[in-house]
Amino acid sequence: MMDLKQLRYFRQIAESGSFSAAASLLRVAQPALSRQIQALERELGVTLCHRNGRGILLTAAGHALFADAVRLLSDADRTRNRMREFGNTLIGEATIGLSPTVSRLLTLPLILKLRSDYPGVRLRIAEAFSGVLLEWLQTGRLDAAILYHVPTGGAVLSETLAKEPLAVIGNAIAPPFPPRARVPMAMLSGQPMVLSTPSHGLRRTVEQHAGCADALLDVQFEFDSLDATIAVVQQGLACTILPPAVVRSEIAAGSLQAWPLLPELARPLVLATGPQRPGAIAVQHLATLLRTAIGDACAACGWTMQEGLPEA
């Protein structure tokens, strides 16, 4: 079977113009070199060169193979060098999709991690809702994304990494519930709420659990804007349901408060990766980076790392 060694031998013979000169440069015995070229000719079924008193003359087949050998060996060398670089430092680019809530928590840690450990990686972050991120992943606009649902079919691979708890978020100055209370979903009946629009996965999750608890939600505001939602809650006009970590700075500042729900309400954090794009760092390296980032964020964000979390 033709291999890279035979192609290197043949390229050197063609460039040197003789077997003896090529053997000297390759540090190979001339008889061994001749046997390799003869084996190559037998496999290909062609004569590659003719010997004469002054060296060798390439045949038409030899000229064609020489051009291909130069290209193939150059590609092989480039690939080998690139893989060696992965052994020491990652280089390339990464385009990652995050939802608005996850983006608020992970963007800065990802940037700091890449800057300190992988300065050769150029990071792009695209922010959108989970369904849009999946579409971008499927069409090749993203290398990876953190989603709230497990995609099915297609070339997208996914794994559930953690679960993210959700809580009632309300005004801390005029709190809608007693401090440190755990709020049954049924207690939200009649409480003014600000939620995302029905197309958003979080809204569907909340309404599904409210239905199971026979809670009648009074949704007075519908925003697909995290900042607008937080502003309405800070004004005491309504409460909402969000991951508490998303508003931890507002909770620390005393403008918002979080109440855990009964029963516990959480959603999966799913790492999804798409097909390898040219110039992007390898998918397995990118997945490792995101696993590490989520693992580091678990304690601060209240996330629970999952092993085999049921896909939902």
Distance of CA 90 to the CA centre of its chain: 14
pLDDT at 123: 85
pLDDT in tens, 300-311: 777 887 654 333
Q: What is the pLDDT of residue 311?
A: 37
CATH class as words, domain 4-88: mainly alpha
With a cut of 90, say whether residue 39 has pLDDT above it. Answer: yes
Cα–Cα dist 254/251, whole Å = 5
pLDDT value at position 85?
52
The larger pLDDT score, comparing residue 309 to residue 30, is at 30
**Chosen CATH of 164-266 out of 3.40.190.290, 3.90.850.10, 1.10.600.10, 3.40.350.10:** 3.40.190.290
User: What is the tens place of the pLDDT at every residue in 230-287?
Assistant: 999 999 999 999 999 899 999 999 999 999 999 889 988 899 988 777 666 777 777 8
pLDDT (tens digit per residue) in 263-275 = 889 988 899 988 7
Instruction: Assess whether pLDDT exceeds 90 at residue 294.
Output: no
**For the chain, what percent of residues have pLDDT higher than 90?**
46
Higher pLDDT, 280 or 85: 280
pLDDT value of residue 292: 82
If we measure between CA atoms, which residue out of 98, 104, 78 comes closest to residue 248? Answer: 104
Calculate mean pLDDT across residues 43-62: 92
Q: Is pLDDT of 155 > 60?
A: yes
Domain ranges of the chain: 4-88, 92-162+269-305, 164-266
Cα three-residue angle 151-153-156, rounded to 5 degrees:
60
**pLDDT exceeds 80 at position 96:** yes
At 105-140, the pLDDT tens digits run 888 888 888 888 778 788 889 998 888 898 898 888
**pLDDT value of residue 242:** 94
- Report the C-alpha gap between 186 and 168 in whole angstroms: 12
pLDDT given for residue 312 in this prediction: 33
Looking at domain 92-162+269-305, its CATH superfamily turns out to be: Periplasmic binding protein-like II (3.40.190.10)
What is the rounded average pLDDT of the residues 202-224? 92
Asked whether residue 90 carries a pLDDT value surpassing 70, the answer given is no
- Domain 4-88 and domain 92-162+269-305, same fold? Reply is no
pLDDT of res. 255? 95
pLDDT value at position 223? 93
Q: What is the pLDDT of residue 310?
A: 36
Residue-wise pLDDT for 133-149, tens only, equals: 988 988 888 889 999 88
Check residue 293 and give its pLDDT. 81
Q: What is the pLDDT of residue 309?
A: 38
